[in-house]
């Protein structure tokens, strides 16, 4: 039996990131859950932000942005970035900042993972501006990088320890590794063969 | 010290959902991590899918789709939907299906939460087709609905028990509730006042 909950975008879990852009030459960061994956090849991600947000000015100016993924230890400072606007507060001093290959997308050293993005598409729906970025380069703090089959990659989510959000306005931590993509289906395939 | 990991869209955590559409009058479901929130008001979500995927035919045909959020108990069947294509396998019999207000977006009864979406914007980047949907109605199984301050809403993520994905190709469970949005910042505000 289903209950109607209205016209609500109740998708979960929601990733929590800090979107970064240089606005008038100074780094600014906004707390975002309106972000995610749009494809692996090409490597596409997006951020969606109210058109009045200060970060948008910088994304439109430079056609670049960064996605910085904090861990749960950074929850107070990440949350703080969501409570004050760059219109009235300088957030450039909150973090150690570095730049990558494009040079105009400020990234946060303290975040385990950073994505340097070039805007490849943008559009608006009512007051939302959505910026689709191609990832030019991904960066990770070296303690979160491991070699797997001769290739450098990220450690697992239990070590990356991301902040997870839900529209009940709560933050959550990650749980346990419970399965492997495209391998869990074997139980279904086997059943189908038996029937 | 940062390490470069190449042009990879290493965002996390990634939600795992089943995107639904009627293709030639028959329900089809695809496993998706390329989905997420684009705004609360208006209530916007999206799915991004390779243009060859069978579901896309139905989304283009009806201008509607559904997002169905499975729990970890559904991991094998959800994963199975990612291993077989609607081009060659009829997935309409895997689930109990219901329709909502639009009538053309098939939804999965067994999933705790379902979003019925009307396409309000679509675009392509290389072989990816991205469909932005306005949520017309959200549905939840009644055991996952509770009344808070006189309003019906979802229980917390620890009870919804979503499947979480990462580009290391592992599935994860949700952890614990660790904080409240826009309340964790008080520790930073207090520090700033002291300095």
pLDDT of residue B195: 40
Mean pLDDT estimate for chain B: 95
Q: Do A125 and B187 touch (CB under 8 A)?
A: no
Give the closest-approach CA distance of B104 to chain A in angstroms. 17
B194 pLDDT tier (thresholds 50, 70, 90): very low
Place of tokens 């063969």: A193
pLDDT of residue B186: 84
Give the closest-approach CA distance of B192 to chain A in angstroms. 11
Closest-CA residue of A relative to B68 is: A11
Asked if residue B112 has pLDDT above 80, the reply is: yes
Q: Which two tokens stand for residue B97?
A: 């299906």
Average pLDDT over residues B17-34: 97
A148 pLDDT tier (thresholds 50, 70, 90): confident
Give the closest-approach CA distance of A26 to chain B in angstroms. 20
Interface test with B, best of A20, A37, A167 (most B CBs within 10 A): A37
Q: Do B42 and A126 touch (CB under 8 A)?
A: yes
pLDDT of residue B74: 97
Give the Cα separation of A79 and A146 in Å (integer).
Answer: 29
| CB B45 within 8 Å of CB B135 | yes
pLDDT of residue B149: 87
| Chain B residues close to A141, C-beta within 8 Å | 1-3
Give the closest-approach CA distance of B25 to chain A in angstroms. 23
| Chain B residues close to A169, C-beta within 8 Å | 180-182
Beta-sheet pairing, A14-15 with A164-166: antiparallel
Q: Do A188 and B44 touch (CB under 8 A)?
A: no
Question: In sequence order, what E strands does chain B have?
Answer: 2-4, 14-15, 17-23, 26-32, 35-39, 44-50, 64-69, 97-98, 107-108, 113-125, 128-141, 145-148, 151-154, 164-166, 170-180
pLDDT of residue A195: 41
Q: Which two tokens stand for residue B168?
A: 């290391």
pLDDT in tens, A40-59: 999 999 999 999 999 999 99
pLDDT of residue B192: 61
Interface test with A, best of B167, B168, B190, B192 (most A CBs within 10 A): B168
Sign of torsion over alpha carbons B156, B43, A128, B14? positive
Interface test with A, best of B14, B119, B175 (most A CBs within 10 A): B175
Asked if residue A194 has pLDDT above 60, the reply is: no
Q: Do B125 and A120 touch (CB under 8 A)?
A: yes
Average pLDDT over residues B167-195: 85
Question: In sequence order, what E strands does chain A have?
Answer: 2-4, 14-15, 17-23, 26-32, 35-39, 44-50, 64-69, 97-98, 107-108, 113-125, 128-141, 145-148, 151-154, 164-166, 170-180
A163: CB partners within 8 A, 6+ apart:
A16, A70, A71, A72, A74, A75, A78, A171, A172, A173, B178
ipTM for the complex shown: 0.95
A 10 A CB-CB count for A22 gives 24
Q: Do B189 and A162 touch (CB under 8 A)?
A: no
Which of B131, B126, B13 lies closest to B67, judged by CA? B131
């Amino acid at each position: 039996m289903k209950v109607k909950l209205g016209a609500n975008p109740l998708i979960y879990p929601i990733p929590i990131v800090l979107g970064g852009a240089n606005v008038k030459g100074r780094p600014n960061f906004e707390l975002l859950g309106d972000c995610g994956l749009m494809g692996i090849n090409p490597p596409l991600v997006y951020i969606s932000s109210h058109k009045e947000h200060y970060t948008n000015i910088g994304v439109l100016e430079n056609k670049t942005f960064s996605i910085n993924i904090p861990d749960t230890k950074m929850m107070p400072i990440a949350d703080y970035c969501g409570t004050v606007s760059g219109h009235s507060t300088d957030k450039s001093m909150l973090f150690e900042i570095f730049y990558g290959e494009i040079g105009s997308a400020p990234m946060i050293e303290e975040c385990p993972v950073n994505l340097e993005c070039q805007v490849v598409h943008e559009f608006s729906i009512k007051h939302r501006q959505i910026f689709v970025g191609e990832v030019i380069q991904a960066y990770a703090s070296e303690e979160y990088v491991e070699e797997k089959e001769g290739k450098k990659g990220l450690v697992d989510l239990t070590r990356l320890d991301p902040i997870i959000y839900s529209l009940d306005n709560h933050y959550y931590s990650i749980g346990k590794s419970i399965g492997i993509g495209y391998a869990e289906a074997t139980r279904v395939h086997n059943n189908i063969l038996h029937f």
